[in-house]
A and B are shown apart, each in its own frame.
Chain A
Amino acid sequence: MNQRPMTARQLGLCACHTCGLLSKWERGHVDLTCPRCRSHLHLRKPDSIARTWAFLIASYLLFLPANLLPIMHTNSLFGAQSDTIMSGIVYLWVSGSWHLALVVFIASILVPSAKLLALTFLAVSVQKRSQWDPIQRTNMYRIVELVGRWSMLDIFVVSVLVALVQLQSLATIRAGHGAVAFGAVVVLTMFAAMEFDPRLIWDPQDDAS
């Protein structure tokens, strides 16, 4: 290409979210569908920022209960015990499995909080039409999308433990309220990342050029 690089939007084209086919974008036409796969066409994901914020705020609200409420209750001959996410990590650490403690810490504490902060930063920067390093921000978005699912780790650990440790008088493990809140945080932040449209990061720069 000899000319200046252009985006699809600048040329009045839009790419289908599902199959990638380019179509002509008609302003004011609400019900455009892709001629190939019949998906609805949008220039950008509809209400991307508003929806991202909605899921983010809901995640923030549940973040505290997810970390403060116990995710499981253990009843055994040695007594009853309730574990939050953090106390489960501490238990792994002191019992000598520091490498697993690290894995669980990264998946359950570091990833969810870093994900919330990163998505908040991206949403704010897009809303303010910031032109700061779009490559850096696009990479940030990719990492958020890639690692989010690993936060489900603790939910699966609890579900395996609950199923295995049902030895009537000897020991039982039950899931706590924290597990519900934590699962909800993981799902909500995944939705938040899905609603965010990374092309919005590039739009201010393209409009300026």
Chain B
Amino acid sequence: MGLSTLIACHECDLLQRRVPLAKAGVARCRRCDAVLYRGSSSEDLDRALAYTLGGLILFLIANAYPIVALEIQANRQAASLYDTVHALWIDGREDVSLLVAFTTLVTPSLEISLLLYLLIPLRFGRTPSETVAVLRFLQRVKPWSMMEVFLLGILVSLVKLEHLAHVEPGIALWAFGALIPILIAAAGAFNPEDIWTKIDQVA
């Protein structure tokens, strides 16, 4: 019996037979409805790479420019993403500063760069040497990337400040707004299952 023709649901452990899927198809567990795997198409890789590159550019813009500026009586204060981490650190809240840095700077940049490390060579038909370790790491780190929550946080703070002062959205805010759908699209096009199958074929 070939074990690779079977799949166990990761949420309820039910054993099921793998069937080939059309592109954009989704295989769900027949007992608990968990998503087992998705159908793949040859453009997946191109799309994932395009979205991730777009994400990289937007991420750089989102970090390089101020998110918002605040004006009270000719006093102007602008804050970039890094400034929020820095201000908490100076304030003596190193623990919160590290948490914010980890979830909005470290994890997203690791995610984007590691995806590119995998996708660029794969696009040219080569499998990068650390593929297995990188895939494992990406899976671990994914829940801690919280850009979309951060965007909502910015919006809430804008409303809070509106009553006190004149607030001006910065370039980075728009970059953030565009970054979130693009990261979701990249995650949707990136199909680790395909890479595992490739590794199987090489071995």
Contact = CB atoms under 8 A, between A and B. Distances in A.
A160 B67 contact: yes
B146 A157 contact: no
B135 to A, nearest CB: 7
Interface in A70-112: 76, 88, 91-92, 95, 97, 100, 103-104, 107
A175 B99 CA distance: 13
A160 B6 contact: no
Interface stretch (B42-50, B68-76, B180-188): B68-76
A155 B159 contact: no
B156 A20 contact: no
B26 to A, nearest CB: 15
Interface string B71-108: 01101010100011111100101011101100110000
Contacts of B17: 1
A98 B157 CA distance: 14
B12 A202 contact: yes
B10 A15 contact: yes
A138 B93 contact: no
B13 A159 contact: no
A132 interface: no
B60 interface: no
A22 B7 contact: yes
A208 interface: no
Interface of B is mostly: helix
A5 B15 CA distance: 7
Contacts of B159: 92, 97, 100
A103 B156 CA distance: 9
A20 B196 contact: yes
B96 A9 contact: no
B21 interface: no
A7 interface: yes
Nearest to B193: A20
Nearest to A9: B13
Contacts of A187: 99
Interface in A24-38: 36-38
Contacts of B156: 92, 100, 103-104, 153, 157
B14 A5 contact: yes
Contacts of B73: 170
A104 B16 CA distance: 42
B160 A7 contact: no
A161 B200 contact: no
Contacts of A37: 132, 135-136, 196, 199
Interface of B: 3-4, 6-8, 10-17, 31-34, 37, 67-68, 70, 72-73, 75, 77, 79, 83-88, 91, 93, 95-97, 99-100, 103-104, 132, 135-136, 139, 143-144, 146, 149-150, 152-154, 156-157, 159-161, 163-164, 192-193, 196, 199-200, 203
Which 7 A-B residue pairs are closest in the complex by CB-CB distance? Answer: A156-B153, A8-B8, A163-B87, A163-B79, A15-B8, A7-B13, A160-B157
30 contacts: A7-B14, A8-B13, A13-B15, A15-B8, A15-B10, A19-B135, A20-B37, A21-B4, A22-B3, A22-B4, A36-B203, A134-B12, A135-B32, A135-B33, A149-B146, A149-B149, A155-B96, A155-B100, A156-B84, A159-B84, A162-B93, A164-B70, A167-B77, A175-B88, A175-B91, A180-B96, A198-B11, A199-B13, A202-B14, A202-B31
